[in-house]
Chains A and B, each alone.
Chain A
Amino acid sequence: MNVLEVDGLTVVLPGGSHRPLVDGIALRIGAGEVVGLVGESGSGKSVTARSALGLFPARSRVTGSVRVAGTEVVGLAGEALRRLRAEQAAMIFQDPRASINPLRRVGDFLTEAVRTNRGWARARSRDRVVELLGEVGIADPGAAMRRYPHQFSGGMLQRVMIAAALAVDPMLLLADEPTTALDVSTQAEIVAILLRLQAERGMGMLFVTHDLELAASICHRIAVMYAGRIVEEQPADRLFRAPRHPYTQGLLAATPTLPSATGGAVQASGRLVPISGRPLSLTDTPPGCAFAPRCPRAIALCTATAPDLHSSGAERVACHRADESVGAGG
């Protein structure tokens, strides 16, 4: 069963002079599956992730369909929307400090979710929260509940946020750059916790990140976004070995790597291959492929018409020249 089904999702800001924030997104996440959504700033990955909670930019025009465990989210409002966010999907954000009330004790913050959504009594909620804090690896849950957010390190606070997200037993976990603000060795801890809990509970997880290597090492499947569209989707290992879209190839070539990396040869010169030019701004609305101005393989067709996302087997790619570029990865 799919816990998330997105079809033809298009979000347009009011005004009309902009290209859509996201354009024709289609995405599936099965129960127990970890799917990565990778792209640079402004590519639309966060807009896509937030759509699963019915969080759309103010006054934007939304078309298409987003179903979480069968429930249609587009157009959902009031009590039904509240129930979706309380019971079916939960989100973890990049900066835990920006998403928790600094004036309230962590215990109050955590029990509130259980008490309001489940209607449990104080003692039962407390027991549940202690259990959750234990699951995310906080050593003394009782003491942790009495402390304030500023008394936690970034990594510890992100564990608290994970506990809060899991308090409602969601079927879909949305993780929006959950480790980007953390130190690199802390990142490993948080990722390990997320993956363990995701597997134990059989949740579907959408992992949003700008870090292709991170996505490749933890996700089953990865969708790459550029300028509001999914340009490529493949099983994680294959995307890394044999990227089909020139943008994905460019991203991989531009990513600094360590010499001891096990996958692939690393050039000795220590010079990166950047992608020329810069990402499209929202006001740029080229008729053709959004990546064409930066693409080393672009031909006349690319600047004239936008390529569709073609599926074959487990992979999807939106490139006029995808069939020629097999194995030509950078």
Chain B
Amino acid sequence: MSLEAQGLCKRFGPLLAVDHVSFSVADGGSLGLVGESGSGKTTIARIVAGLERADGGSVRVDGTDRGVHVRGRAARLARARQVQMVFQDPYLSLDPRLTTVETLTEVIALHDGGTRVARRERVDELLDQVGLGDREAAALPRQLSGGQRQRVAIARALAARPRLLILDEAVAALDVSIQAQILNLLADIRTQTGIGYLFVSHDLAVVRYVTDHVAVMYRGRVVERGQTAAVLAAPRHPYTQLLLASVPRPGWDPTAVAQARRALQANNASEEPS
């Protein structure tokens, strides 16, 4: 298992944002974590990445517990490289003063060390992997388009040779024609490298193209999980059914969806002890 999360809990003040959530990502597997805002999906991604500390539960990557403190530079680096993250907006997550090559070289120098020649070879390999050319290699983030910037962010994450890549709404800000390029790129990279994905998204249609398993989150809990194709074809939980019905398509009836949503909310309000 590249990732095993057991009984994760996280409370923010009165809000139980993550409520005993467990899941796993097989070696080279891809798990979609789907839900709407406030469902707890991003909090989970941040816990797995180590950006947030869980109140309870454990996260293991490749068998090592990520909750245990490590001492020393080598141990911390080894831990850092296990999991890398790609965010929604590459404009905010890339250093605006570094060119693509400089961004990648920094990560490689930190994790691999090596000679200048070896580092440059690794940079070329990464650029090739994400489909960036010479112009993009020498460019600053502001000189790149949104899709190209997201390719840089992916290359930077890959530079550390992670076991697990967390993609938090990584294609949500992209235009459709570019989004398709990145989705295909992500599928190719997983086939080539065997890196596991934790793909966090609000978009069920997108999840279909990058994941083989999916967990649907609602109010901090996983309400349905299974193989992506099976869940999308025959959702069992009313919330999953609502999410699927909410996606516009020919013959779509927004009024019926709105009614189903109110019914679900009313149901939950009466069930929950608050």
Contacts and interface: CB of A to CB of B under 8 A. Distances in A.
A and B from one complex: yes
Nearest to B175: A40
Contacts of A275: 177, 180
Interface in B243-261: 243-252, 254-255, 257-258, 261
Interface string B226-264: 000100110000000011111111111011011001000
Contacts of B187: 271
Contacts of A257: 205, 249
B176 A271 contact: no
A217 B249 contact: yes
6 contacts: A186-B36, A188-B258, A192-B254, A256-B179, A260-B244, A261-B249
Contacts of A237: 250
Given A192-B254, A258-B205, A40 B249 contact: no
A275 B247 CA distance: 23
Scoring B178, B180, B244, B246 by chain A CB atoms within 10 A of each residue's CB, the highest score goes to B180
Nearest to A250: B177
Given A184-B243, A185-B243, A192-B258, A254 B250 contact: no
Contacts of A253: 180
Nearest to B235: A260
Contacts, number: 138
A41 B148 CA distance: 15
Given A41-B175, A217-B248, A260-B244, A192 B148 contact: no
B258 A272 contact: no
B175 A188 contact: no
Given A211-B248, A214-B248, A262-B251, A256 B36 contact: no
A17 B114 CA distance: 46
Given A189-B261, A195-B254, A210-B176, A271 B202 contact: no
Contacts of A196: 255
B233 A255 contact: no
Residue of A154, A214, A262, A272 ringed by the most chain B CB atoms within 10 A: A272
Given A183-B36, A259-B233, A188 B177 contact: no
Contacts of A75: none
Nearest to A215: B248
A258 B203 CA distance: 10
A278 B145 contact: yes
A185 B257 contact: yes
Contact of A184 (B147, B176, B247, B249): B247
**How many of chain B's residues touch chain A, expressed as a range?**
35 or more
A121 B177 CA distance: 52
Contacts of A251: 176-177
A274 B177 contact: yes
Contact of A258 (B177, B183, B208): B208
B268 interface: no
Contacts of B252: 213, 217-218
Interface string B174-207: 0111111101100100000000000000111110
Given A191-B248, A213-B249, A274-B180, 15 more contacts: A185-B246, A185-B261, A187-B248, A188-B257, A188-B261, A189-B258, A192-B258, A196-B255, A211-B248, A214-B248, A216-B249, A253-B180, A255-B205, A256-B180, A272-B209
A286 to B, nearest CB: 17
A186 B255 CA distance: 11
Interface of A: 40-41, 154, 183-189, 191-192, 195-196, 210-214, 216-218, 237, 240, 250-251, 253-263, 270-276, 278-279, 281, 294
B244 A210 contact: no
Interface of B: 36-37, 145-148, 175-181, 183-184, 187, 202-206, 208-209, 229, 232-233, 242-252, 254-255, 257-258, 261
Contacts of B247: 184, 213, 258
Given A189-B258, A259-B232, A217 B251 contact: yes
A257 B229 CA distance: 12
B271 to A, nearest CB: 18
A263 B250 contact: yes
A263 B251 contact: yes
Given A257-B249, A258-B249, A259-B233, A192 B257 contact: yes
Nearest to B250: A263
Nearest to B229: A259
B243 to A, nearest CB: 7
Given A189-B261, A217-B250, A261-B249, A183 B37 contact: yes
A274 B233 contact: no
Contacts of A40: 175-177
A263 B248 contact: no
B254 A189 contact: yes
Contacts of B261: 185-186, 188-189
Given A217-B249, A262-B249, A272-B184, A254 B179 contact: yes
A160 to B, nearest CB: 17
Contact of B208 (A186, A210, A212, A259): A259
Nearest to B181: A274
A240 B258 contact: no
Contacts of B146: 41
Nearest to A254: B180
Nearest to B239: A185
A275 B180 CA distance: 8
Contacts of A191: 248, 254
